[in-house]
């Protein structure tokens, strides 16, 4: 991104341009995405399952001017592993769904020793208890009924009301007001929903 400001004497020809580059950095990543799917007839209906797994090996942020490398792999927003698993059973007009969302264990910072007294009110760096977060599993369940162009679905997100980890405001990813990383973890809790769809095609 480049910021450009032009200079004009009120009217007439352009007499000058001031421009400068922004402080953007470069990212280098490596990882593997795996997707598996399976379906079979079971009883009066059909059972289907699929898994999408992401394994991260590298996530480096490289300073565009200095060339300094910040290793972010394994931190809160870039955990080493993430996955979604879905199981579905379809029977006539009915369908039942179970989804598992997995967010791997992570660290708030790969360099906790850089957090000093001014940053986190601790003189020897960020304490392990504030820096390490366990893996998280979320379960979503739903059921739908459909006939012709109509479909009705009732569902529950975060069925077991899993609470997010505590990330105080002095941590790298702790957000003011929520004291956690809302970009990674569910901050609302269990949520019911009811939807109605009509397909005109």
Q: And the tokens for 56?
A: 């991260």
Q: pLDDT tens digits, residue range 124-145?
A: 555 556 788 999 999 999 999 9
Q: pLDDT tens digits, residue range 79-108?
A: 999 999 999 999 999 999 999 999 999 999
Position 153 in a domain: yes
Position 4 in a domain: no
**Side-chain half-sphere exposure of 108, counting CA atoms within 13 A:** 28
Q: At 114, is the pLDDT very low, low, confident or very high (cuts 50, 70, 90)?
A: low
Q: pLDDT tens digits, residue range 175-194?
A: 888 889 999 999 999 999 99
Q: Report the number of distinct structural domains present in the chain.
A: 1
Position 8 in a domain: no
Q: How many residues does the chain have?
A: 201
The fraction of the chain above a pLDDT of 70, given in percent, is: 79
**Report field, pTM of the whole predicted structure over 0.85:** no
Taking only Cα atoms into account, the Rg of the chain, rounded to an integer number of angstroms, comes to: 24
Q: Which residues of 97-125 are buried (b: 16+ CB within 10 A; e: fewer)?
A: bebebbbbebbbbeebeebeeeebeeeeb
* Cα 112 from chain centre: 22
Position 13 in a domain: no
Position 93 in a domain: yes
Domain that includes residue 175, residue range: 25-198
Position 130 in a domain: yes
Position 106 in a domain: yes
Position 149 in a domain: yes
């Amino acid at each position: 991104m480049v910021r450009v400001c032009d200079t004009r004497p009120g009217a007439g020809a352009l007499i000058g341009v001031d421009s400068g580059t922004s402080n953007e950095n470069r990212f280098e990543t490596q990882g593997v995405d795996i997707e598996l799917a399976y379906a079979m007839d079971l009883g009066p209906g059909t059972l289907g399952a699929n898994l999408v797994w992401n394994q991260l090996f590298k996530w480096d942020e490289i300073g565009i001017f200095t060339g300094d490398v910040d290793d972010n792999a394994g931190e809160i927003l870039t955990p080493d592993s993430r996955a979604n698993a879905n199981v579905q059973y379809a029977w006539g007009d009915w369908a039942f769904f179970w989804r598992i969302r997995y967010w791997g264990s992570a660290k708030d910072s790969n360099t906790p020793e850089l957090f000093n007294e001014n940053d986190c009110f601790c003189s020897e760096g960020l304490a392990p208890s504030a820096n390490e977060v366990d893996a998280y599993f979320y379960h979503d369940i739903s059921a739908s009924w459909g006939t012709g162009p109509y479909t009705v679905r009732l569902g529950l997100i975060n069925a077991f009301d899993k609470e997010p980890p505590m990330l105080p405001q002095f941590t790298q990813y702790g957000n003011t007001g929520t004291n956690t990383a809302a970009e990674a973890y569910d901050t609302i809790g269990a949520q019911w929903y009811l939807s109605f769809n009509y397909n005109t095609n």
